[in-house]
Amino acid sequence: MSLTATAPAPAPASAPPSASALQKRPNIVLLLADDWGFSDVGSFGSEIRTPNIDGLAAKGVRFSNFHVAGSCSPTRAMLQTGVGNHRAGLGNMPETIPPAHVGKPGYDTVLNGRVVTIAQLLRDADYRTYFTGKWHLGRTPAKLPHARGYDRAFALADAGADNFEDKPIHGLYDKADWTENGVPAALPRGYYSSTFIVDKAIDYIDGGRATGRPFFASINFLANHIPVQAPDAYIARYAEAYRGGWSIVRAARRQRAIDLGILPTAPMATMPDTKDWNALTPADRAAQAHAMAAYGAMAEAADHEIGRLVAHLKATGEYDNTIFVFLSDNGPEPTDPRNRLLNRLVLGTYYDFDPAHAGQRGTMTYIGASWASAAAAPLNGYKFTAYEGGLRVPLIIAWPGNPTIKPGRIAGSFAYVTDLPPTLLALAGLAPQGPRYHGRTVEPMTGTSLMPVLAGEAGPARDQPLGYELSGNAALFRGDYKLVRNLPPSGDGHWQLFDILHDPGETRDLARIDPARFQAMQSDYRAFAARDQVLPMPAGYTANQQINDNAFRHTALPRIKRAAPWLLLMLMLASLAGGIYWLVRRRRTRRR
C-alpha cells in the first residue's frame, strides 16, 4: 500500500466516485484533546497512563515540533479549514474578545462563511462525515457542524461544560448548549463526557457502515478542560502520584522526553509564577496533589475511551485502513476560576470545592499555573501565551495498515495546525480547495502537506514566514527561529527571538546576538499583521480579566436586568413595610 490512497481526485457531486475507488480511500479519525500539555502523553514523557494513545504512536509518527494556537477556538478553526485563525474569523474568542474588537474583520468569534471545512471537502468526495463533542465555533443553526459539512453531529457550542451532568460552566454560561444535527439535545442519564463522545461516534460510524463509503469522524473531547472531573476509579490510581510537587514532575518529564528522543538535551526555563512547593502548608500540598490527581485521571479516562474506539474498529475490520490523528488544541490551562471575590461567591453556590473531593461529580477542579508548568514540561508558558508551552502540543499520525509509515518514528521538523487538513486530504487522494469553491470566492488553504514527513523524508522547507496572533500574544516562525511577544501578565510586551529547534525551552533570547534576523522577522510580523488585519489590544488587556468581564456582561448582567423589576418591587414593598412599621411605632409612642 502506498502512502497516498490510490483513488483519483473527486468527481463532481453529480457523479460520485465508484464503489471500488471509495474502498481504497482510508477512513479518518481525528482525536482532539482539550488543554493537554506537551508532555501529558506517555510517549511524550508523561507519568499519566495513556497506553492507547501510545499504541497509536507506536504505529505511526510523533511530531515533536508541532504548533497550534494558544486557545481552543482559533486552533479548532484552523484544524477544520487549513486557514489561519484571523482569516477564518477567530481573531479572538467570544469569551476573550474586548468589546472594541467585536465585528471587526477577522474578529467574527465564529467560523465565518469565507472558509471551507475539511468535512465539506470530504463529503463532496462521498465520505460519511461525523462530529461529536466540543465545537465552540458558533452556536446558531448556520454555524453548527451540521451546517458545515457534517452528516451527523452531536456538538457542544460552548468552551466547556460539566462532565457528569447536563450543566454548563456556571458563571460563564446559562446552559450547556448541546445540539444534535442542529437541534437542541439533552444528555442521557449516566453521562460521562469522554465515554458519551466516543459512544456517539461509534453509533454514527456503525449507522453508515452498510453504505460501504469511507468515513471521517471528528471526535472532540472535553478532557481536560475546566472543570477537571473523572470517574472515582481513575482518580484513585493517582492518589500518591503528585505528592512530590510540580517541580519534581516537571524535571522528571523533561528527562523522560530527552530519553525518548522527543527533545534534545537542552536547558529548561524556570517558570516565574511557579510557587515553592515546600513553602506550602501540608494541607495546601495535599489539596494541590488531589487536583493534579484528578487531571491525570481525566486524561487516562479519555485514553481508555480512545482504546474502546480502536478496539471497535479492529473488531469491524476498519482499523488497518483508518488514519488516526491525535493532538491537543493548546497548552495546559493555568487559570484559577476563583481569582476574584465575585467569582468565589458565584461559584461557591454551584460547586463543591472540598479538596478531598477533587475531580468528583459536582466539583469545579482546576490545576492552576504551577501544575500547568509541569503539564507543559519542559517548555516555557502554557495556554493563552505565545510561548512554546502554549503553542507546542503533542501530535500523532498513524495509519496502521500502511507499511510506508515507519512505526514509532519521531519527526522533529516544524509543523503547524493548518498543515493537517491538506495532509489528510492528500492521504485520501484528494486536493485542497483553492480560492473558488462551488462558484464562490473562499479563503484557500495555507497549510503545507506533511506527506513527505510521514514517508520518512525531510520536512518541508519553512523559509517563508508564518505569523500568529491571539489576544495580543504573538509569534512569527521562520526556519528554526521564532519571534515571540507576550503581554502582561505572562510577558512584558517586548519581542524576543529564540532558536526553538535547539532551545525549545526558550531560555536564550537571541535578539541582541542576532539583530539582523531579529529586525527582519519583526518586519515579517508587521506584514502578516497588516495582511490579516490584526488589531492592537486595549491598554491593560488580559485574557483572564476579559473572560471575567465578558461573563459578567453576557451572563450575570442580563440576569440582574431580568430580575430588576422584581428587585424594585421587593424594595418598594420593604420600604412600604418599613414606613408602616415606623408610623405604628410613632403612634404608640405618642399614646404613652
The label of the residue with cell 531560555 reads 507
Q: For residue 498, what is its C-alpha cell?
A: 529564540
Contact 555, 169 (CB under 8 A): no
Question: What is the C-alpha to C-alpha distance for residues 201 and 316, in angstroms, rounded to an integer?
Answer: 14
Helix, strand, coil fractions of the chain, as percent rounded to 5: 40, 15, 50
Phi and psi (nearest 5°) for 362?
85, 0
Cβ–Cβ under 8 Å, residues 416 and 449: no
Specify the DSSP class assigned to residue 417. Answer: G
Give the span between the Cα atoms of 362 and 254, in whole angstroms. Answer: 34
Residue 556 carries which DSSP code?
I
Residues 499-533 as b/e (b if ≥16 CB within 10 A, e otherwise) read bbbebbbbeebbbeeeeebbebbbebbeebbeebe
For 198, residues 6+ apart whose C-beta sits below 8 A from its C-beta are 132, 219, 305, 306, 308, 309
Q: Beta-carbon neighbour count of residue 574 at 10 Å?
A: 10
Q: Sign of the CA dihedral 458, 460, 465, 470?
A: negative
Question: Rounded CA gap, 57 and 486, in Å?
Answer: 32
Q: Do strands 66-67 and 415-416 pair parallel, antiparallel, or not at all (unpaired)?
A: parallel
- What are the cell numbers at 32? 482532539
Determine contact, residues 294/359, Cβ cutoff 8 Å.
yes
Residue 290 annotated among the catalytic residues of the structure:
no
Catalytic residue among 67, 72, 225, 304: 72
Known active-site residue 136 = yes
CA atoms within 13 A on the CB side of 290: 18
469: nearest Cα among 382, 379, 534:
534
Q: How many CB atoms lie within 10 A of CB 547?
A: 21
Is there a contact between 165 and 344 (Cβ–Cβ < 8 Å)? no
Measuring CA to CA, which residue among 38, 70, 75 is closest to residue 472? 70
470 backbone dihedrals φ, ψ, rounded to 5°: -155, 125
Catalytic residue among 86, 136, 146, 225: 136
Q: Please list the residues that pair with 452 across neighbouring strands.
A: none
Q: With the C-alpha atoms ordered 500, 506, 508, 513, is the resulting torsion angle positive or negative?
A: positive
Residue 101 is given by DSSP the state G
Q: Which residues contact 341 (CB under 8 A, 6 or more apart)?
A: none
Of 349, 526, 376, 384, residue with least CA distance to 38: 376
- Chain-centroid distance of CA 247 in Å reads 25
Residues in the chain: 592
Give the residue numbers marked as catalytic: 72, 136
